[in-house]
Chain A
Amino acid sequence: MIAAFAAVLRKDLMLEARGGQSTVALVALSLLVLVVLVFAFDPGGGAQGRAAAAGALWVALVFSGMLGATRAIAAEHENGCMRALLLSPLDRAALYAAKLAAAFIFMALAEAAAIVLMVLFFNLQFDARTLRVAPAVMLGALGFAALATLLAGISSRVRGGDLILPLLAVPMFVPALIAGVKASAMALGGAPLAELATWLKVLAAFDVAFVAAGYLLFEYVALEE
């Protein structure tokens, strides 16, 4: 179980390290989303600018997460890799956990870059406040990766499924999105971590629920190629 998990995860990480472009694409997409939203909102300074920055960061997270999950599963379907994975005596739950871990790692890297880009584009300062955004964003990335990995398993097997992924993932992610944007805006405004606790708890609850749901339900999604 652990060995299977480690093997699939190592394969994904090695693939990425040897010229896979997932993380680069995710960072590039985050960059574009942030640029577009700067044009869209033309944010000034102060509380409004910080709220816009927090919102833009989470929009970037949703877009890059969707791309990452689609890529991770689509790559398996190319060259019949998925068939090999499903033929092997590999526990479906372990496969899900490995795919989720890989998606989370790529997303976490992209989000770290997105936080830096957000500070630059929205004229914020690099200080402790920026760091306090990180817990919410990482919890959000985990939740989105858990959700999108399960749903990408479905959408990759349905004709026209790339339309289905955002239609299902975005409304399901709404509670985490609300909590994440609030927590990020408060953190950027200088609130200590303790004040963010309520929102971080919502994010943690979302993560627990969706990691568990994906872990238990993935075997019904990945029955056939």
Chain B
Amino acid sequence: MNGRPMRLGLGTGVLALMLAALYMVFVVVPTEADQGIVQRIFYFHVPCAWVAFVSFALVAVAGMLYLWLGDQVWDDLGYAAAEVGTIFCALVLITGSIWAKPIWGAWWTWDSRLTTTLILFLLYCGYLMLRAMAGDSEQGARFGAVVGIVAAIDVPIVIVSVRLWRTIHPAVLVTRQGGHGLEDPRMVATLLVALAAFTALFIWILCLRFVTLRMRTRLRALAGSLAMAELAAEP
């Protein structure tokens, strides 16, 4: 396939960007005054969250395009995005917990952002379970598109209700993540490099999964026409 050199180039670019991001995070950026060394996980946490949200939006858009146009290419894109997004969503929850333990004194709190992310993660775990069970079929693609769209409709309602739940509920923790401020310009620069690196990583992994799924689709079509040819050849 002629996409191979492009993917190789992209992979090299991702490697360079990730190394640059690691260098920024561990060497360049100053240690945050209040939170100390743990705060550095922030530069991986936020890009993971960004990638997760982008991929879930992509699942819904690809689902709509699939139902509208009926082209398998949209389903392959949506499925790939759901897989990659779920992994990054898990990384958001894990890096967040590692940060929360020393800062908040607990691995987990029912803060509005945490709760919303967890529900998002559970929704897309359900999506992946469905795809695994529905198997490699046109029906599975259709069901995946419907669930992807319905999940995206659900997300704004989740955000509103969880936020209301949290503001009315007495606050367990006064400190919120909003206290970062990123006073030092090096912090902003590090965050931007990390965002670029994770976006590139996301595009690269998405491409790899997408190409694999495209091949699977072509294989299925070939197997179908082979079976037809065998049937026709029988006396």
Q: Is A157 in contact with chain B by the CB < 8 A criterion? A: yes
User: Are A175 and B161 touching (Cβ within 8 A)?
Assistant: yes
Q: Is A82 in contact with chain B by the CB < 8 A criterion? A: no
User: Are A224 and B147 touching (Cβ within 8 A)?
Assistant: no
Q: Is A213 in contact with chain B by the CB < 8 A criterion? A: yes
Stretch of B149-157, B186-194, B212-220 on the interface side: B149-157
Q: Is the interface of A mostly helix, strand, loop or mixed?
A: helix
In the complex, which range does the number of interface residues on chain A fall in? 20 to 34
- The CA of A213 and the CA of B60, in the complex, are separated in Å by 13
Residue of A whose beta carbon sits closest to that of B138: A223
- The CA of A182 and the CA of B169, in the complex, are separated in Å by 10
User: Are A213 and B153 touching (Cβ within 8 A)?
Assistant: yes
Q: Mask for A155-173, Cβ within 8 A of B = 1, else 0?
A: 0011111011001100110
Chain A residues, CB < 8 A from B168: 182
- The CA of A220 and the CA of B123, in the complex, are separated in Å by 20
Chain A residues, CB < 8 A from B67: 217, 220
Q: Is B53 in contact with chain A by the CB < 8 A criterion? A: no
Contact A158 to B143, CB < 8 A, known contacts A163-B133, A164-B133, A202-B161: yes
Q: Is the interface of B mostly helix, strand, loop or mixed?
A: helix
Q: Is A198 in contact with chain B by the CB < 8 A criterion? A: yes
B45-71, CB < 8 A from A: 67
User: Are A168 and B130 touching (Cβ within 8 A)?
Assistant: yes
- The CA of A128 and the CA of B37, in the complex, are separated in Å by 56
A173-225, CB < 8 A from B: 174-176, 178-179, 182, 198-199, 202, 205-206, 209-210, 213, 217, 220-221, 223-224
Q: Is A13 in contact with chain B by the CB < 8 A criterion? A: no
Residue of A whose beta carbon sits closest to that of B159: A175
Interface residues in chain A, defined as those with a beta carbon under 8 Å from any beta carbon in chain B: 147, 150-151, 154, 157-161, 163-164, 167-168, 171-172, 174-176, 178-179, 182, 198-199, 202, 205-206, 209-210, 213, 217, 220-221, 223-224
